[in-house]
Chains A and B, each alone.
Chain A
Amino acid sequence: MPDETVFGMDVVMLSRIQFALTIMFHYLFPPLTIGLGVVLVYLEGRYLWTKEAIYEQAARFWTRLFGLNFAMGVVTGIVMEFQFGTNWAAYSRFVGDVFGSALAAEGIFAFFLESGFLSLLLFGWDRVGPKMHFFATLMVAIGGIFSSVWIVIANSWQQTPTGHVLREHVVGDRVAMRAEIVDFWAMVFNPSTVHRLTHVWLGAFVLGACFVMSISAWYLLKGRHIDFAKRSFTGALLLATVASLCQAVSGHFNAEMVAEHQPAKLAAMEGLYETQAGAPLYLFGWPNQQERRVDWGVAIPGGLSLLVHQDPTAVVQGFDQLGPVYGEPPVWITFQAYHLMVGIGTLMIVATWVAWWFYRRGTLFEQRWLLWFFVGSVVLAMAANEAGWVAAECGRQPWIVYPTIIDGVATGGLRTSDGVSESVHADQVFGSIVFFGVIYTTLGVLWLVLLNGKIQHGPELGESDDDGETVPERRHDIGMADA
């Protein structure tokens, strides 16, 4: 069975591709809803406080977009939960005690909360009072955050496992090691959880803010819903500015944490093939696997050494030393994904500050080039969120659960190639890749079409709009139902 292949790919490679495809499609949505959730809580809170109708109208508009994104997150999320069992059965047996617990906690504490109050948020406008509605919105936002807490704990444990022991487990004639929790809080607060969770949240806030800025900037460029768009844009700009700046700090802590606990991942992120003193920090480059060097690179000399050891001449280990111990992750993709994330993050910080500079001069909304940049910013923010995870997960390879190094030997981890289902065949996995590929392509197209319809339809503002058009309860053929 293991020697079966489809298009030269074995069942491990196919399962990895399937997981990458389904998780990357899924992850378009959760950070968007977490970020938008914060925006909704702010708008409804502001409405309760000031009683200004525009905040309620804005909340209703963004809720419609939130609902669509949330539905996409839910349907693609169920796939993830099933996939651990269908495609990664051996992994599931190994980690069930630990990872499964976090996933079950996510179900009990987060999913019920989100899905219950979501129906009040979407359908409850006329059935419950504004205070109850605000409460429901708050609960949905908190549910999303709880959900991220548990899943990031689970994933962080895979990256830097602590709080467990490995014990033999016997089923029939099979004796296998598996991880069991011995110290729950040590498992929860493993060395990477807090840094990674912060990073995920800030990424989600930036994305939510960019989503709002993107649509608002487009309205401003088209001269529609001007007052609404200006207020939305400025509020979101504030969130994006703070979150992207904090993200840089969080990124620094994450890099230090990776350097300490997953040095091979750091080497892959920076394309460090050879151990060297004064290791460079690349701005961009092209890792060349054959020659084992980075081509076309522009780097800050000693930058990596400075970052990791606070000393520009310090020695940083490369794959010549790390490879025999940890194995080597795919360098090119880890390097590029990491640099894409950092590059977009930096661009975001610059763009938000430029925007404030024009805001101070009172000409922000006249800078059409800048508004066009922010129309596109949502795509950049999505790409950065995705790229960060690609770097984190590819950099963990060849391990699915990272090992601990004891006396120079990798101990206690699980290799990705050992995690795949025992009874699943390459053609089955290939078939399911095609299946999900078709479904997700359809879903993606429908999502964009419907999102566009809602954006074109715009908010339902009770008063005369700036473009002179009065739009109370304006109905569009595409907006028959607003849920």
Chain B
Amino acid sequence: MDYPTLWFVLLGVLLAGYAVLDGFDLGVGLVHPLHKSDHDRRLAINSIGPLWDGNEVWLVTFGGALFAAFPEAYATAFSGFYFAFMAALGGLIFRAVSIEFRGKVDRAWWRLLWDGMFFLSSLVTTLVYGAAVGAAMAGVPLDNRGIMASSTLEQIGPFSLMVAALTVAAFALHGSLYLGLKTTGALRERTRVWAWFAYAAYVVLFFATTAVAVGTIDRATKNFDEHPWGAVIVLLNLLAVLNLPRCLTQRRYGQAFVSSGCSILALVFLFGFALFPELVASSTDPADSLTIYNSASSPKTLRLMALFALIGLPFVLAYTSVVYWTFRGKVQIDKHSY
């Protein structure tokens, strides 16, 4: 494996880590308006309280790693999707702020305000994340200097909207199942109903998106011809998706949560598998695409960074495990809670 390919894989790991981890706390935000009481909403916020910040670091590190490994792709995508990134930043800021500030003033209107902001910011962040993945699959208009020149409206194609909707359904499912794991009683029963609805939407959108991708985007299938083993992941994804109704009926929340996580991981994997070796695909002339080769940093730097990742990642996994282990079990409200 050459260094650009290694970094493509490592970026995929960071993106998948972000999707599966921040996916559930964004999902908790997406189902937030469905709660019946202020107490339930407080429980929901505190169920992700000690975790959401660390989950977001996966995205931040993805950004930094993209900047370092493939500066051309980072520069073109971030400046080309200017509006989308500003919206995402607004979403990330308001999410953090609503979690942090919600419990600080004991007034009903204050809490409702931040509950609303928590939902909206989670929705915006999820939509942008999904739409970005969709746009990357469908390709964007690049000129012959590898620079994106298109208006915001041109960038929102039907396919990116579909992927955005699919992402909302996937995270809502993942988040509902997470809440099911962390809560008890009537609230837990309600999260199961939400999970059913989210699951239905997810399955419909999943097949619709797959059909559109296979039917209209050459990029979606080209790598399967050369590497048929990719189909194994499709199969595993199907198993995970089909396992969910059984888990939901039998109230196996843990297994359901693992299944939705696996399905999200599989989707990110398939996205990377289809995109490879492109990073920012040109919708006009494929020769203008930014690939992992023409947008990479120097081999020496990629090797150096791989060394950083080798040293750093075991520590990252260790801290993450310690934190998740410490805050395991049902969510409890104590004097340090939000």
Q: Which residues of A contact B (CB under 8 A)?
A: 68, 71, 74-76, 78-79, 81-82, 84-87, 89-90, 92-93, 95-101, 103-109, 111-113, 115-120, 122-128, 167, 169-174, 178, 180-182, 184, 421-424, 428, 432, 435, 439, 443, 446, 450, 453, 477-478, 480-483
| A70 to B316 CA separation, bound complex (whole angstroms) | 20
Q: Which residues of B contact A424 (CB under 8 A)?
A: 79, 82
A165 and B326 alpha carbons, distance in the complex (Å): 47
Is A90 within 8 A of B75, CB to CB?
yes
Among A76, A85, A107, A446, the residue within 8 A (CB) of B77 is: A85
CB<8 Å pairs between A and B, sample of 24: A75-B92, A75-B93, A78-B60, A82-B63, A96-B74, A97-B71, A101-B304, A104-B64, A104-B308, A108-B308, A111-B57, A112-B61, A117-B323, A123-B337, A124-B50, A126-B336, A169-B72, A171-B145, A174-B145, A180-B301, A181-B300, A423-B147, A439-B93, A478-B105
Q: Which residues of B contact A480 (CB under 8 A)?
A: 103-106
Are B298 and A100 closer than 8 Å at their CB atoms? no
Q: Is the CB of B65 within 8 A of A74?
A: no
A170 vs B296: C-alpha distance when bound (angstroms) = 11
Indicate the size class of the contact surface on chain B. 35 or more
Within the complex, which residue of A86, A97, A100, A170 is in contact with B64, where a contact is CB–CB below 8 Å?
A100
A101 and B301 in contact, given A89-B79, A119-B50, A119-B323 (Cβ under 8 angstroms): yes
Known: A104-B65, A112-B57, A481-B337. A172 touches B145 (CB 8 A): yes
Give B205 Cβ to nearest chain A Cβ, in Å: 28
A483 touches B85 (CB 8 A): no
Nearest CB of B to A102, in Å? 8
Ranked nearest first, the 9 interchain pairs of A and B with the lowest CB-CB distance are: A96-B71, A85-B78, A107-B61, A116-B319, A100-B68, A119-B50, A481-B103, A108-B312, A100-B67
Question: B68 contacts which chain A residues (CB < 8 A)?
Answer: 96-97, 100-101, 103-104
| Choice from A169, A174, A428 contacting B83 with Cβ under 8 Å | A428
With both chains docked as a complex, state the minimum distance between the C-beta of B285 and any C-beta of chain A, in angstroms. Answer: 9
> Across the interface, do A432 and B86 meet the contact criterion of CB distance under 8 Å?
yes
A1 to chain B, nearest CB (A): 9
Q: Is the CB of B61 within 8 A of A111?
A: yes
Give chain A residues whose Cβ lies under 8 Å from the Cβ of B5: none
CB distance from B95 to the nearest CB of A (A): 9
Given contacts A92-B67, A103-B64, contact A171 B104 (CB under 8 A): no
Q: Which residues of B contact A74 (CB under 8 A)?
A: 53, 96
Of B63, B146, B336, the contact of A172 (CB 8 Å cutoff): B146
| Residue B227 at the chain A interface, CB threshold 8 Å | no
Q: Which of A71, A97, A169 has the most CB of B within 10 A?
A: A97
Name which residue of chain A comes closest to B77, CB basis.
Answer: A85
Alpha-carbon distance A481/B43, docked complex (angstroms): 13
B104, A478: Cβ atoms closer than 8 Å: yes
In the assembled complex, the CB of A309 is this many whole angstroms from the nearest CB of chain B, namely 39
Q: Which of B50, B86, B96, B294 contacts A435 (CB 8 A)?
A: B86
Q: Tell me whether B298 and A167 are in contact (CB under 8 A).
A: yes
Interface string of B44-76 (1 = CB under 8 A from A): 000001110110110011011101111110111
Cβ contacts under 8 Å, A453 to chain B:
104-105
Cβ–Cβ contact A85 & B75, under 8 A: yes
Mark out the residues of chain B between 130 and 170 whose CB falls within 8 Å of any chain A CB in the assembled complex. Answer: 143-149
Determine how close the nearest CB of chain A comes to the CB of B154; give it in whole angstroms.
Answer: 12
Question: Cβ of B197 < 8 Å from any Cβ of A?
Answer: no
Contact of B320 with A by CB under 8 A? yes
Prevailing SS type, chain B contact patch: helix
- Which residues of the other chain, A, contact B77 by a CB distance below 8 angstroms? 85
Given contacts A78-B92, A423-B80, contact A106 B64 (CB under 8 A): yes
**Given A119-B323, A173-B144, 10 more pairs with CB closer than 8 A:** A85-B77, A96-B72, A99-B67, A100-B74, A100-B297, A104-B67, A116-B316, A126-B334, A167-B298, A439-B90
Q: Which residue of B lies closest to A182 (CB)?
A: B300
Report the separation of the CA atoms of residues A166 and B72 in the bound assembly, to the nearest whole angstrom. 16
CB distance from A67 to the nearest CB of B (A): 8
The answer to whether the Cβ of B309 comes within 8 Å of any Cβ in the partner chain is yes
Instruction: Say how far A14's CB is from chain B's closest CB, in angstroms.
Output: 13
Residue of A nearest to B76 (CB): A89
Q: In the docked arrangement, what's the CA distance between A265 and B145, Å?
A: 35
> Distance (Å) between the CB of A244 and the closest chain B CB?
32
A435 touches B147 (CB 8 A): no
Choose among A107, A113, A182 the residue with the greatest number of B CB atoms under 10 Å from its CB.
Answer: A107
CB distance from B147 to the nearest CB of A (A): 5
A81 to B85, CA, bound (A): 11
Assess the B96–A75 pair: CB atoms within 8 A.
yes
Taking a contact as CB atoms under 8 Å apart, the answer to whether B86 and A116 are in contact is no
In the complex, what distance in Å separates the CA atom of A182 from the CA atom of B299?
11
Give every chain B residue within 8 A of A118 (Cβ-Cβ).
53-54
A86-B82 contact in complex given A108-B309, A172-B146, C-beta closer than 8 Å: yes
Task: Across the interface, name the chain B residue whose C-beta is closest to A76.
Answer: B93
Q: Which residues of A contact B319 (CB under 8 A)?
A: 112-113, 116-117
Q: How far is the CA of A99 from the CA of B65 in the complex (A)?
A: 11
Alpha-carbon separation in the docked complex, A370 to B60 (Å): 44
Question: Across the interface, which residues of B come within 8 angstroms of A423, CB to CB?
Answer: 79-80, 82, 147-149
Contact of A86 among B60, B78, B294 (CB under 8 A): B78
Q: Which of B89, B94, B287 contacts A82 (CB 8 A)?
A: B89
Question: Provided the pairs A71-B100, A423-B79, A428-B82 are in contact, do residues A81 and B336 lie with their beta carbons within 8 angstroms?
Answer: no
Q: Nearest Cβ distance between residue B293 and chain A, in whole angstroms?
A: 10
Contacts of B320 in A (CB 8 A): 112, 116
**Complex contact A86–B86 (CB within 8 A):** yes
Closest to A172 in B: B144
* Residues in chain A near residue B308, CB distance under 8 A: 101, 104-105, 108-109
Task: Give chain B residues whose Cβ lies under 8 Å from the Cβ of A122.
Answer: 50, 336
Assess the A422–B147 pair: CB atoms within 8 A: yes
Q: Which of A111, A170, A181, A446 contacts B101 (CB 8 A)?
A: A446
Q: Which residue of A lies closest to B86 (CB)?
A: A432
Partner of B53 from the list A103, A115, A173, A443 (CB cut-off 8 Å) is A115
Asked if A85 and B74 make an inter-chain contact with CB atoms under 8 angstroms apart, the answer reads yes
Query: Using Cβ atoms and an 8 Å threshold, which residues of chain B touch A435?
Result: 86, 90
B54 A68 Cβ-Cβ under 8 A: no
Whether B79 lies near A116 (C-beta < 8 A) is: no
Provide the residues of chain B in CB contact with A109, threshold 8 Å. Answer: 308, 312
Q: Tell me, rounded to whole Å, the shortest Cβ–Cβ distance linking A31 to chain B.
A: 20
